[in-house]
Structures are given as C-alpha cells and as structure tokens.
A and B are shown apart, each in its own frame.
Chain A
C-alpha cells in the first residue's frame, strides 16, 4: 500500500500529515520525495545509517573516436549539445538521460557515466524506515531523484510519500503509482484554488483521493458545501491552533502532545484501506 501526501499549494501541511500519519502506524516506510526542500527529517529525527549518492546517466565523449559529425547534437531533443569545430560542448543540466546520443553515435564515441545530482539518506526511527532525497543546490532535475527515492519502497509494508508542492512533473513523479493520495489543503481561496488543480492531476493519474483540511475554521459552510457538491471525501480536519503552529515551528510532530489525534489518523488509515479495497 502506497499512500502519497500532496497539495498543489505549498505550506498547507503535507509534511505534518505524512509524519504524524507514519507515527500512528505500527510499521511504515516514510519517503520524503520533496527533494528540493525535504523537511520530514526535522520532525521524524530518524537515525540516518546509510547515505548514497543519487546520480543520473550522462554522456561522455571519447575524443579519440569523435569525428565531430554532429549526430549527437541533432538527435538530442533537449538541446544539451553544441558542436564546435574541435569540441562538443555538453550542458548536463539540460540532459534527460534518454540515451539517444550514445546509442546513435555512428563512431561509438559516447559512453554514459554517472553524474551526481543529490543524495539519498536512509534511516530508522522505531518501527519507521525513513528514506529521503536531497537535490544538490543548483541542480534542476528533481524527477530522476524522486524516482530513485521511490525505488526503495518495500511492497511488504505501507509506504507514506511526502510529495513536493505543485502539479508539475516533480509532484506527478512522486504521486504516480500510489494506491491513494491524501490532498492537504487550507480553507483560503489560494488553498482551494490549488486543491482543485491537484484534484484534476490525481484524477488524470487515476488515483483515488481524499482531503485533509488543515487550519480548519469552525463551521466553515463555504468549503463544506464545496466538498459536498463535488462529492469530495474529507478524511480529517485539523483546526487552526496556535499550539499546533508552535510545535511545528520547533519540529515536534503534534500527535506527541495531542494524543487524541492518534485514533483520528488510524481511522483515516483504515478508511483508506477500506476505500482502496472497494476500488480493487
């Protein structure tokens, strides 16, 4: 079972929901796929016991074989090459690692080498296995790193994915192939606008979803009617509470001081289990 936690708008509480939910399960894997700004570890404080470089495959030109024919430049859909009279310039940040240049080079002058773009850290806190990706500052390409973080998922246990904000390729890469997606929002026009975009995205991916309303206002008729009219399941409401905000600011998962939420997160998990069973 893979459950992703996404949002559209940033700062709505994805990490809060992902970490607290993982802490309420008996055994879980927590994957921080917000590789541009990973924050789950601030709250989880796992013991990191393994670090691996995250790499992508990029071409390297063997000038003993290269005859400057320009095929690599022609076949590259991402404009990562510029052919000069006695040199082939390569722009690694443009490269998508598709392999076309090395496969199609008539001189067999291109081999692929590993280029580091970040780091993967693996750790443990009690019964939670933790995996996070960290993109190196200045690197553009989050999706390959997100895919590598997800490759650590052990299908025998529940995996919770903390996804990046937005609805573009990093978010899609993180959320893709999950069994259920929790969309976290807040009852502001910004939150509701971006929730709608996130819903369209998970619908396009064919993933069942439900909403967690964070910083919920008491008796918020406007959002309640919206959810009812669009048949959107609301899984949990977390009220606006200065104490929760303070705990967040110092990196403490709020269930540690609001134990009543433990059952609420467990119920949310059971609801997801039931609803995905029905769907299957």
Chain B
C-alpha cells in the first residue's frame, strides 16, 4: 500500500483540485483530507457521513469563583496570559498546561477536557473518505491529522486498498509535519511565481528533513513560463522529479464551481495531463 500526500507550502496552488482528480482516477484507495482547519475536498467528493467521532484534545482551566481567594499565584505563573485580572480564564489563550491548577493553594482550579473538533468516516462514489473539522480557533490540528490518518490506514488495510491519498494543509508547521510523517511520497504542487518557488523550496527541505521522497507538479505553468523553467531547474538541482505541468485553464475553476473532480468535468488536454501525473505518482 502506497501513501501519497499532496502538499504545497503556499496555499491555493491546487492541492485539492489535484487530490480530487486522483480520487476519480485511482482504483482501490482511501481518500483523506488532512487540511483539518479549512477542509475543501468534501466539496468535490460529496461524502455521506457514516461515522461521526468527537475529537477530544487538551484541556483548559476553569476557576471556581466561590473558592478563589484572588491570591494571584495562578496568573503570575501563567505564561500564556490566559488569566484575567478578574480571575477568568480565556479558553482561546489557555494552552492547557495545568500549572495554575497545580499551584492554586485552595484547589479552586479544575482542568476541563476540551472538545477540539470532529472527524468523520464517509462513503463517496469514489470510495471511503476520512475527513475532519477542527473547532473554530482550536489548536492541536497535528493530533487531529494523526487521528484521521490512523483511521484511514485501518480502513485501507481492511479493504486491501493499494493507495491512501491525502490532501495536505498549507505551510510547513505542525499539521503539515503530521500529514507528511511516514508517507511513501509527497507530491508538491506549486505555481510559477516567486512566492510559489520560495515556498516550494521550504517544503522540499521539510520533506528531506523527514526523509520523505518528493515529486513536483507545476500548476498554471503558462502564467509565467520563465518562472516555470526556473522551478524545473531548481528541482533538477535538488533531484526532485517534475512529474507534470498543468496549464492555466478556465475548466479548473468551472469544475470546482460544478463541485466535480476536474477529470470528470473536462475531456480536453488538461484531463490527459492529469492522468499522466497520476500514472507517475500512483505507480
């Protein structure tokens, strides 16, 4: 079984467009959306949710005003400025370390388990799909990513699937690292802009750091052919194979508006380009 994650560093380069197309092209696979705080793949796959799970993670402090003597030991020790002068805890600022509860001389502080989101096992016309929704302004997205990946792996093993295909989050931080660790291939999608190149460089370095094999796709390559060439040269120097170039096409936006994987929306050259990418990536 091959695990493939689609990442980019920079947001908006076409990760979900490409992952959605792979959902339509790959035969026996499990799809995963690891962009848990701004998920979009469900808008192309139209899942019907079969199993809903609460994601509990971390904790936050709660001060009982009836017991609190306002001694201030908690707020002095809190590194996150989460305790106000009125001895109320901001659940957004609190990182759940529990130091205040340990220090409180009158035991007025309790740590409450935090519900940080939900994750789902769904059925789609493209096969099983595991996805999630991090609560608004919640943390620990990395743990939620690990959770959905674990569930996807279980399903894939049970079904004897040949691929797990993961739509990754932007950036290079904790949810990206959680999406990347232990995969067989990271497919990097970039665009021919200075920002796209800069961000691809950092995400290639990240994959290298975690010993993950990489391949790269240039999306909208014809927006700036010169910049595309620069990216190709850079990839050559880093020994990252460029497995495809996708032209700028109106059909991509139209397919998203239609809520369909782009390869099911158009039969043009674009579809052919993406099929070739899948053949290089999926083998």
Contacts and interface: CB of A to CB of B under 8 A. Distances in A.
A188 interface: yes
A12 B38 CA distance: 13
Contacts of B210: 138
A245 B36 CA distance: 28
A172 B96 contact: no
Given A10-B11, A165-B11, A170 B173 contact: yes
Contact of B172 (A36, A166, A245, A251): A36
A99 B99 contact: yes
Contact of B142 (A11, A140, A245): A140
A250 B173 contact: no
Nearest to B80: A98
Contact of A36 (B13, B136, B171, B223): B171
Nearest to B200: A37
A168 B141 CA distance: 7
Contacts, number: 179
A168 B209 contact: no
A165 B175 CA distance: 12
A171 to B, nearest CB: 8
A249 B37 contact: no
Given A39-B195, A42-B195, A166 B169 contact: yes
A39 B193 CA distance: 11
Interface string B5-22: 000111111001000000
A37 B99 contact: no
A190 B205 contact: no
B92 A176 contact: yes
Nearest to A165: B11
Interface stretch (B239-247, B251-259, B272-280): B251-259
B227 interface: yes
Interface in A86-114: 96-100, 103-104
Chain B interface bracket (under 10, 10 to 19, 20 to 34, 35 or more): 35 or more
B10 A167 contact: no
Contact of A39 (B36, B38, B198): B198
Interface string A142-185: 10000000000000000000001111111110001000000000
A8 B174 CA distance: 17
B112 interface: no
Contacts of B139: 168-169
Nearest to A192: B43
A201 B210 CA distance: 32
A278 interface: no
Interface residues of A, number: 56
A167 B11 contact: no
A190 B198 contact: no
A96 B38 contact: no
Contacts of B77: 99, 103
Contact of B173 (A15, A100, A141, A204): A141
A189 interface: yes
A197 B16 contact: no
A98 B99 contact: yes
B256 to A, nearest CB: 5
Contacts of B176: 36
Contact of B195 (A8, A15, A142, A171): A15
B124 interface: no
Given A10-B170, A167-B134, 18 more contacts: A8-B38, A11-B10, A15-B195, A36-B171, A36-B202, A37-B202, A77-B98, A98-B80, A100-B102, A168-B137, A170-B171, A188-B253, A189-B259, A201-B136, A245-B223, A248-B193, A250-B227, A251-B195
5 tightest A-B CB contacts, nearest first: A10-B11, A11-B12, A98-B97, A36-B171, A249-B193
24 contacts: A10-B8, A10-B12, A11-B10, A36-B171, A37-B170, A39-B194, A42-B198, A98-B79, A98-B99, A99-B77, A135-B172, A135-B173, A139-B173, A140-B177, A168-B141, A171-B37, A172-B137, A188-B257, A189-B256, A190-B40, A194-B40, A201-B137, A205-B137, A249-B227
